[in-house]
A and B are shown apart, each in its own frame.
Chain A
């Protein structure tokens, strides 16, 4: 029969203490945040309604809804991803399927990593210099979307590479052995087997793009723009637009005397949209992972 010596008892006690300390550390980062989110929702409740989503801001933004901002954000997200996703995916295909391990491709990897780390305000400066002035797109949706696209692209490259790398090498070898070229293998074997992972990565960027403020502040987003309530396509490519994230910043710092629940409701709508999209992406990923056969 095994009996505990004092040494073992101390050891086990320390183990238990350590476990609870680490648990407390994990919990202390998560629980207060959930409380804060609950608090935001509670404050937002008086304004949250379908009408709030579909109405335009009224009386100098002190009342009314967020429709122009909501639809502006959707425009920005769709256009920027339409640009960033194809380039990002193809770049990842190059890096994962074609690139040999030499100094030039290591340089590309380094560039991707650093592009992902560039502060969002520097992207804003770049967008202002390159798209607004040099390319003469002016302050417009197209300038803002392109700025956002360059910001999201490195992350799409990274997530796509991960998806591509998860396709076993033996799949490719089997395909090469029956005489397929590199591109035929990629199209017939690699992409179909990794498309779900690629899509998940892109969906996760929807929410990131929607939440960014700094890159669009100086390239195309405006404080206010009159838009007919419920109009789905109020903006042209060359127009400036409102955006949810920018609207939240404006409401909470630049507009005195806003009805108190309105900025809270705007924050909750933005937060809710982001979390909803991400939950969907994660659910998709979990479902697909469970279905995977290799």
Chain B
């Protein structure tokens, strides 16, 4: 056994530092549990209030949190709002995002590829409040002009804005997924005389489908959790939408719009926190699914 000739304090300092590193390492778990704990702690008492029922919360469209006589806390309309905006955003963003990912990954030269990737990274950095501002000003005018809708802030507006916000994520994760397909697959295909297009839809898409699915899921996660852009771009009507030109309110926007007015520890305030728990759960499930899909690929 060789004798250590470092001074005792140096060894002690190193151990202490490694302890700190370990604490930082587990901090992520602490924070996730902390978020759930603090949000749930505020929300919890309302579950036992006589005027509140969980079924009403989840399945009623009546949201009258400040009414004198007829208080109702139903968020179904907001769930429908979140759902409709997210679905529309994905209908636009998935084909375009995956198409762009395929173009960047398979059809362009190295120079153009670098440039496009940098542009896409910059687009991903545009703050959500700026997106909301674009929705509120530019996009709403365009929508009123082209569709004749009475108001320009509606599902269509929010959907387009969210789509533009999710596309960079879908492109960059999708491109990673395509890049992860071994080059030998491409070489084998090309050696058999396929064109690039045949290669893409016969070989690469099937081989990369899990990664592409993960890209879409992460896009959904971002769209569901987005707050400022939908707050500003979707209008503020709490009702089940009937068409894409209806205004809606999403779960996130509802919290952002009303938290400032709800008195601390009132039932209204607690219900907003309960909405937060619901959102946390939804995004947790979506991200977990995306992670499992990605992990599945790595194992292969």
Contact = CB atoms under 8 A, between A and B. Distances in A.
Contact of B126 (A19, A90, A274): A274
B187 interface: no
A118 B18 contact: no
Contacts of A153: 27-28, 31
Contacts of B26: 108
A213 B228 contact: yes
Contact of A253 (B25, B232, B264, B288): B232
Interface residues of B, number: 82
A239 B24 CA distance: 28
B173 interface: no
Given A36-B138, A267-B133, A274-B125, A122 B196 contact: no
B170 to A, nearest CB: 10
Contacts of A218: 259-260
Interface residues of A, number: 87
A210 B28 contact: no
Interface stretch (A56-64, A126-134, A163-171, A226-234): A126-134
Contacts of B119: 30
Given A117-B286, A249-B228, A126 B123 contact: no
Interface in B26-48: 26-29, 31-32, 34-35, 38-39, 41-42
A95 B104 CA distance: 32
Interface string A237-280: 00000000110110011000000000110010011001100110
B195 interface: yes
B232 A119 contact: no
Contacts of B198: 11, 14-15
A125 interface: yes
Given A213-B127, A214-B228, A15 B197 contact: yes
Contacts of B121: 278, 282
A11 B39 CA distance: 57
B45 to A, nearest CB: 13
A22 interface: yes
B260 A270 contact: no
Contact of B35 (A22, A39, A126, A182): A126
B283 A117 contact: yes
Nearest to A277: B125
Given A204-B125, A218-B259, 11 more contacts: A29-B96, A117-B225, A125-B259, A126-B35, A181-B14, A207-B125, A210-B127, A211-B128, A211-B129, A213-B127, A267-B133
Q: Which 4 A-B pairs have the closest CB atoms?
A: A211-B127, A119-B225, A94-B25, A25-B99
